[in-house]
């Protein structure tokens, strides 16, 4: 079977594959360098308020991408994200609060051991927050991941609420309803927040474009068939759920540091819902979509603040109404969901293919003395369905949305078909008809 026969012919030219990979790596490194320069400039020159918005945007990216992994890619409708955020936030806060603050703020009950002696640098604290959330997710997942669709949603919602109520009721650890104040603001730094966001995106996109990621998609599409085809469903669901929770915990930890206060009310269902909106509006199964939409969402929410101040529209005078922007915002979101059901990106993902393809064609053309368009004309035509076939399956028994084609990695890459061979099977004798 595999490996025991040396193929005289391979479907892909290894040198082309390698070259494409190198090109893409170069593109990524260049953009990383540009981004770093941009962050450096922004951190230097922007005021506190815009910086805070950008930091918040990065945290929303982390939260959205992690929920997208659980729901968009694996199809698990989890409404418990805020619970994991809460765990990460509390753990990180308790580890980074200065001892002096700890002594002062715990009014309801003195801080219990070991939290009153434990302390850690911010990096360790954030990682610890993520890991604790991950462990919780593992334990919660054991019973809960058997459920499907709506039931999974309400079970995870239930757990998140339990976590919140518990946080409210163990003042010796969480300071109850008073919450924790004076959390050090290490996250008030674009390098920190966007660094973590970059790591989240890198990790999750790597996970999703790997063979394991295909298993996630298979589970999303048809869990029963996937299991019969050899996919270890429970294992992969757990991996997806726990990974998403770890990053939610990291996001929560950063959020706590950015806002410097946390209390159980922060981590209610509304928070999960906002992240869910970002994920759905950006496109289930599209990491690019989550990133862009998280940015847009954060910026727009702030941009709507002036609505609350009171304004005139000709003869109409609207008085100052605090909270109005949330009303407007929820209306806008409703409209988006009503009319734009597949989300902004609908499962498509950004990749460097367009650039690499163009560069390759140019390179190949020059070596053969052809123009790129002539070269394109000679390429074999891949199959394109004649009508825009309806790939939606209306009989999905577990009530999920029609997630779009989650093409994780790009197929162009894995192709790298050489043009000499022109391996188009349509022109070739089929061996089995």
Partner 1 sequence: MTWVVFLQNVANGLSLGSLYALVAIGYTMVYGILRLINFAHGDIFMLGAYALFYLVLVFTLPWWVSFAAAIVITAIMGVLVERAAYRPLRNAPRISALISAIGVSFFLENVGLVVFGGRPKPFAVPQFFTQDHSIGAVRVMNLTWVIPLLSMVLLLGLTYLVYRTKAGLAMRAISYDMETSRLMAIDVNKTISLTFAVGSALAAAGGIMWALKYPQINPLMGIIPGLKAFIAAVLGGIGSIPGAMLGGFLLGIMEIMLVAFLPALSGFRDAFAFLVLIVILLVKPSGLMGQEVKEKV
Partner 2 sequence: MAATDVLRLDHVTMRFGGLVAVSDCNLALTRGELVGLIGPNGAGKTTVFNVITGVYRPTQGHVFFEGRDITGMRPDLVCALGIARTFQNIRLMKSLSVVDNVLIGHRCHLRSSLAAAVLRLPGYVREENLLYEESLRLLDDLGLLRYKDAPAGSLPYGEQRRVEIARALATRPRLLLLDEPAAGMNPNESQALVRFIRDVLARFDLTILLIEHDMSVIMEVCDRIMVLDHGETIAEGTSAEIQANPRVIEAYLGVGYKHAGNY
Query: Which residues here bind partner 1, judged by CB under 8 A?
Result: 77, 143-144, 146-147, 150-151, 153-155, 158-159, 161-162, 165-166, 168-169, 224, 270, 273, 276-277, 280, 321, 323-324, 326-327, 330-331, 333-334, 337-338, 341, 397, 399-402
Quote the CA–CA distance of 36 and 139 in Å, as a whole number: 38
Region near partner 2 per CB under 8 A, out of 11-19, 181-189, 323-331, 362-370: 11-19
Q: CB–CB of 132/91 below 8 Å? A: yes
Burial degree of 107 (CB within 10 A; 0-12, 13-18, 19+): exposed
206 near partner 2, rule: CB under 8 A = yes
What, of partner 1, partner 2, none, does residue 424 touch, CB below 5 to 8 Å by kind? partner 2
Quote the CA–CA distance of 296 and 314 in Å, as a whole number: 30
Q: CB–CB of 347/283 below 8 Å? A: yes
> How many helical (H) and strand (E) elements, i.e. helices and strands, does the chain have?
17, 4
Q: Smallest distance, Å, CB 360 to partner 2?
A: 17
Q: Smallest distance, Å, CB 390 to partner 2?
A: 8
7 near partner 2, rule: CB under 8 A = yes
Quote the CA–CA distance of 17 and 249 in Å, as a whole number: 37
Q: Smallest distance, Å, CB 93 to partner 1?
A: 21
For the chain, the farthest-separated pair of C-alpha atoms sits apart, in whole angstroms, at 83
Q: Smallest distance, Å, CB 222 to partner 2?
A: 5
Quote the CA–CA distance of 64 and 285 in Å, as a whole number: 11
What, of partner 1, partner 2, none, does residue 315 touch, CB below 5 to 8 Å by kind? none
102 or 237, CB closer to partner 2? 237
What, of partner 2, partner 1, none, does residue 10 touch, CB below 5 to 8 Å by kind? partner 2
268 or 372, CB closer to partner 1? 268
The length of the chain is: 433
Scan residues 377-406 and list those touching partner 2 (CB under 8 A).
382-385, 389-393, 403-406
215 near partner 2, rule: CB under 8 A = yes
160 near partner 2, rule: CB under 8 A = no
347 near partner 2, rule: CB under 8 A = yes
Position among 214, 261, 370, 418 found at the interface with partner 2 (CB under 8 A): 214
Q: CB–CB of 97/278 below 8 Å? A: no
Quote the CA–CA distance of 297 and 302 in Å, as a whole number: 9
Quote the CA–CA distance of 409 and 413 in Å, as a whole number: 8
Nearest to 91 by CA among 254, 271, 258: 254
425 near partner 2, rule: CB under 8 A = yes
SS3 string of 102-132? HHHHCCCCCCCCCCCCCCCCHHHHHHHHHHH
Which residues contact partner 2 by CB under 8 A? 1-3, 7, 10-12, 17, 203, 206-207, 210-212, 214-215, 217-218, 221-222, 224-233, 239, 347, 382-385, 389-393, 403-407, 411, 414, 423-426, 430-433
């Amino acid at each position: 079977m595999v490996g025991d026969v040396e193929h005289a012919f391979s479907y892909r030219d290894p040198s082309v594959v390698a070259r494409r990979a190198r090109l893409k790596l170069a593109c990524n490194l260049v953009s990383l360098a540009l981004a770093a320069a941009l962050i450096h400039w922004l951190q230097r020159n922007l005021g506190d308020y815009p910086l805070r918005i950008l930091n918040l945007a990065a945290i929303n990216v982390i939260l959205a991408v992690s929920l997208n992994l659980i729901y968009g890619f694996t199809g698990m409708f989890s409404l418990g994200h805020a619970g994991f955020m809460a765990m990460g936030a509390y753990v990180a806060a308790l580890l980074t609060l200065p001892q002096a603050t700890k002594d002062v703020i715990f009014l309801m009950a003195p801080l219990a051991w070991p939290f009153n002696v434990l302390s850690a640098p911010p990096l360790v604290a954030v990682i610890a927050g993520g890991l604790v959330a991950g462990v919780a997710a593992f334990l919660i997942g054991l019973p809960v991941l058997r459920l499907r669709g709506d039931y999974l949603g309400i079970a995870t919602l239930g757990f998140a609420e339990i976590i919140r109520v518990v946080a409210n009721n163990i003042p010796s650890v969480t300071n109850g309803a008073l919450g924790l104040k004076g959390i050090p603001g290490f996250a008030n730094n674009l390098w920190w927040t966007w660094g973590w966001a970059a790591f989240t995106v890198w990790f999750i996109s790597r996970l999703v474009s790997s063979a394991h990621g295909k298993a996630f998609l298979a589970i999303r599409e048809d869990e029963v068939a996937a299991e019969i085809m050899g996919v270890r469903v429970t294992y992969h669901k757990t991996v997806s759920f726990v990974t998403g929770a770890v990053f939610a915990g990291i996001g929560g930890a950063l959020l706590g540091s950015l806002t410097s206060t946390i209390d159980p009310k922060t981590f209610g269902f509304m928070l999960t819902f906002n992240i869910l909106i970002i994920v759905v509006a950006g496109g289930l199964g599209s990491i690019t979509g989550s990133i862009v939409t998280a940015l847009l969402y954060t910026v727009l929410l702030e941009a709507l603040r002036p609505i609350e101040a009171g304004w005139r529209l000709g003869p109409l005078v609207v008085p100052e109404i605090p909270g109005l922007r949330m009303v407007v915002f929820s209306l806008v979101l409703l409209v988006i969901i009503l009319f734009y059901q597949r989300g902004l990106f609908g499962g498509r993902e950004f990749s460097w293919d367009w650039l690499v393809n163009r560069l390759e064609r140019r390179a190949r053309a020059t070596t053969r003395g052809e123009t790129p368009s002539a070269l394109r004309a000679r390429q074999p035509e891949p199959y394109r369905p004649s009508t825009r076939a309806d790939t939606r399956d209306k009989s999905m028994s577990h009530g999920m949305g029609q997630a779009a084609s989650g093409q994780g990695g790009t197929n162009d890459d894995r192709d790298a078909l050489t043009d000499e061979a022109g391996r188009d099977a349509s022109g070739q004798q089929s061996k089995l008809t």
